[in-house]
Amino acid sequence: MPAGGWTVEQVLDEYDHLSLEDVRACLGYARDVLASERVYPAPAAG
């Protein structure tokens, strides 16, 4: 399920110019980008 609580079917209904392959490609891209992100903790304030 994509972020925001929408199902793939809801996305396709709302944006009828998109195909299932378009949505899958976007979700795959987002997965790859998030998998490569690094989080660096900020130093403690004090």
Quote the Cα angle for 13-35-41, to 5°: 120
Q: What tens digit of pLDDT does each residue of 19-33 get?
A: 999 999 999 999 999
pLDDT of res. 2: 63
Task: Pull the structure tokens for residue 6.
Answer: 């929408």
Backbone angles phi, psi at 12, to 5 degrees: -65, -35
What is the domain partition of the chain in residue ranges?
A: 3-36
| pTM for the whole structure | 0.66
Amino acid letter for position 9: E
Please, which pLDDT band fits residue 3 given cuts at 50, 70 and 90? low
Average pLDDT along the chain: 89
How many other CB atoms are there within 10 angstroms of residue 3's CB atom? 7
> Which residues fall within 8 angstroms of residue 1, CB to CB, at 6 or more apart?
7, 8
